[in-house]
Amino acid sequence: MLGKARAAGPAGITYLCVDVTRAPTWWDGRPFDGCTCELALMDIDDLAGALATVAAVLRPGGWFVASVMHPCFPGNGRGQSSWPPGGGYEREGWWTSPGHNPEGVRIRVGATHRKLSTILNALHDAGLEAERFAEPPAPVPVPTYLLWRCRRR
Ligand SMILES: C[S@@+](CC[C@H](N)C(=O)[O-])C[C@H]1O[C@@H](n2cnc3c(N)ncnc32)[C@H](O)[C@@H]1O
């Protein structure tokens, strides 16, 4: 994916392969105006670690825009629920399931289900102040995605 991004992207972008849950030793100390993370926090086991990195590299007032699979999403014909089959909203943590498409990402790397309150509290604890939330319309009674913009306190 990084190779494709480097080949396709405009010049002047630096792509790094790093573990965002670790201290940002790759960072030159110049604060970023913003960070974005699309549909990846469910794939990152250490949410507090990832958010600590975001908060560390942002300037005060810098934005953090992210999307996750909605923690309340109960699944539909095309997508799996946020939690494992047979599980439920209350039980948090990493999961995978042999019932998934064997070619799909969930059977290969799993996912971490977190309750909405866990996500909101983690943002708050990292010093990321919620500014805006969005839940795009979905063909099921509960939205599929949750998006937000926070700012570093
Ligand atoms: C579902 S993919 C989303 C990728 C992309 N944002 C998209 O929308 O197609 C989740 C991504 O999270 C990355 N990831 C998981 N744990 C990570 C970590 N600790 N640090 C950095 N990236 C991580 C994986 O490498 C993977 O590329």
d(CA 140, CA 13): 38
Question: Hey, whose CA ends up nearest to atom 4 of ligand 1?
Answer: 40
Which pair of tokens denotes residue 143? 């939205």
For the segment 80-129, what is each residue's pLDDT rounded down to a tens digit? Answer: 789 988 889 999 999 987 766 777 777 778 899 999 999 999 999 999 99
Which residues' Cβ are closer than 6 Å to ligand 1? 19-21, 38-40, 43-44, 105
Q: Which atom of ligand 1 is nearest to the CA of 105?
A: 1
Query: What residues pair up with 63 in beta bridges, in sequence order?
Result: 34, 151
CA dihedral 36, 109, 75, 51 (to 10 degrees): -30
Task: Specify the CATH number of the domain 31-152.
Answer: 3.40.50.150
- State pTM to two decimals: 0.93
For the segment 125-153, what is each residue's pLDDT rounded down to a tens digit? Answer: 999 999 999 999 888 888 999 999 999 99
Q: Which atom of ligand 1 is nearest to the CA of 1?
A: 27
Query: To test ligand 1's pocket by mutation, which of 41, 44, 65 has the most ligand atoms within 8 angstroms of CB?
Result: 44
Would you say 136 and 147 are in contact if contact means Cβ atoms under 8 Å apart?
A: yes
